[in-house]
A and B are shown apart, each in its own frame.
Chain A
Amino acid sequence: MRVTDSQPQPRQIYDPVADTPSSYVREAAGIHPPLDFPEYKSTALRHPKQPLIYLPQNITELTGPALSSLAPVGELDNDLTRQHDGEPIGERTLVFGRVFDTEGKPLRNTLVEIWQANACGRYRHRWDRFEAPLDPNFSGAGRAVTDAEGRYRFVTVKPGPYPWGNHYNAWRPAHIHFSLLGRAFAQRLVTQMYFPGDPLFAYDPIFNSIPDQAARKRLISRFSIEDTQPGWALAYQFDIHLRGPGATPFEEAL
């Protein structure tokens, strides 16, 4: 059937019922950081010491909060440079990408939340004691919802690196915090996006807490000359893969 006089319907990426997995894949060891990681000192008193108990995935884990019932996402929520009267100081930067599952299926209508330091490496947070200026035109938080192809896009300024108290002369590489709800409790992910070529990678215990070196690199965004806006902003691409459907033999046996 030819559709001639109306906009094409967005491609159905997920059928809410048929595409709801009966379980999400159990992720391989080495992808995520261990909870016990002595080089990152704050883990010492906070990581559970008892073994984790295997949780069979069931309806509570296979469902998740619907976007429509969350706080509304406003038009300017994804533009961190237009939340005040003036523009923030710093390298104007586009951060964009797509949210997929590990099958490569885009996740549409899913909430992406970010927060970050300003261009000087200072957070607008009362605990941040770094002696760098706050920017009256920068709050440092944004939200976006992915489109039908799983795309999101933020306009921001590149965050600066900053010192922290983990060890002598400790500096965090420049990063943007990402929070993803996915489609299910099982897919929930909080992570950090880094910028290519940061000289601080080798010294950062948080980045290096990820055992698999290839997995670490997946947190480094890609500079995209194609997506820069000439005369206006540089662009970095950060695609995210949340774990997708899949069962382990152990799961099936339960």
Chain B
Amino acid sequence: MIFPSTPAQTVGPYFAIGLPWPEGPHAVAPGTAGAITIRGVVYDGAGEPIPDFLLETWQADPDGLFADLHAHGGVSKLEGFRGFARVGYEDGDGSFELLTVKPGPLVMASGTLAAPHIDVSLFARGLLHRCVTRVYFADEEDANAADPVLANVPAERRGTLLAKAVAGGYEIDIHLQGPGETVFFAL
């Protein structure tokens, strides 16, 4: 490292004038075969829904390929796959809903297999730096049991990272604080 990093600051309460766009919540094109929704609510430490969060996701496609600039095993061939979603509202009710596909398992640098997961960045007024978490899928029991990142999470907290299957997709709430506080990662 030659130059020190530029420090982070809060996204503040007014990001909605600049960051969200109408198709932002679509990590895949609407109508994509196998598309699912992932929805949930973001709560603060008082158990109140947070109306002014900005949530972003990044993930692989079902084949484990990314829609990215790099060539990690090739670029996703899924038509209209963005792999990135951004949700945030000028005056939200605390809930979010993304349209995406379930990612496939990934081979990690060490050669071990990572369970299907979606990386999440959460920004909000009152968060001076982003919070990073992941969405795993509760119905991937075998893959989750073998996942090295989940293995590093205390067993009693792993459930906070598991999205549960519901009609049309999955559901996962995010708790910034309090009972059932979501696991956040140092990246």
Contacts and interface: CB of A to CB of B under 8 A. Distances in A.
Interface in B146-162: 148-149, 152-153, 157
Contacts of B14: 115, 117, 123, 125, 127-128, 177
B50 interface: yes
A35 B1 contact: no
Chief secondary structure at chain A's binding surface: loop
Q: How large is the interface on B (under 10, 10 to 19, 20 to 34, 35 or more residues)?
A: 35 or more
A240 interface: yes
B183 interface: yes
B33 interface: no
B123 to A, nearest CB: 6
A142 B19 CA distance: 9
B2 interface: yes
Contacts of A209: 9, 128
A35 B3 contact: no
Q: How large is the interface on A (under 10, 10 to 19, 20 to 34, 35 or more residues)?
A: 35 or more
Nearest to B51: A127
A15 to B, nearest CB: 10
A120 interface: no
B15 to A, nearest CB: 6
A117 B28 CA distance: 33
Contacts of A192: 9-10, 12
B101 interface: no
Contacts of B6: 189, 191, 218-219, 240-242
A179 B9 contact: no
Contacts of A242: 5-6
Contact of B2 (A46, A62, A102): A102
Contact of B45 (A44, A53, A60, A67): A44
Nearest to A50: B181
A183 B60 contact: no
B90 interface: yes
A65 B181 contact: no
Nearest to A110: B69
A64 B58 contact: yes
A244 B5 CA distance: 9
A66 B69 contact: yes
A104 B68 contact: no
A67 B70 CA distance: 12
B184 A31 contact: no
A79 interface: no
B128 A33 contact: yes
B183 A50 contact: yes
A55 B185 contact: yes
A52 B184 contact: yes
Interface of B: 1-19, 21, 23-24, 44-46, 48, 50, 52, 56, 58-60, 66-72, 82-84, 90-91, 106-110, 114, 117, 119, 121, 123-132, 134, 148-149, 152-153, 157, 176-177, 181-187
26 contacts: A17-B70, A32-B128, A33-B9, A46-B50, A48-B181, A50-B184, A54-B185, A57-B187, A59-B108, A62-B72, A63-B66, A103-B1, A104-B2, A115-B18, A125-B90, A183-B69, A185-B119, A190-B9, A191-B8, A192-B12, A210-B9, A215-B4, A241-B3, A241-B6, A243-B1, A244-B1
Interface of A: 16-17, 20, 22, 25-28, 31-35, 37, 40, 42-50, 52-67, 69-71, 100, 102-104, 113-115, 117, 123-128, 139-142, 177, 179, 183, 185-186, 188-192, 206-207, 209-210, 212, 214-216, 218-219, 240-244, 246, 254
Q: 8 tightest CB-CB pairs across the interface, nearest first?
A: A115-B18, A42-B126, A141-B18, A65-B84, A33-B128, A55-B185, A46-B126, A45-B45
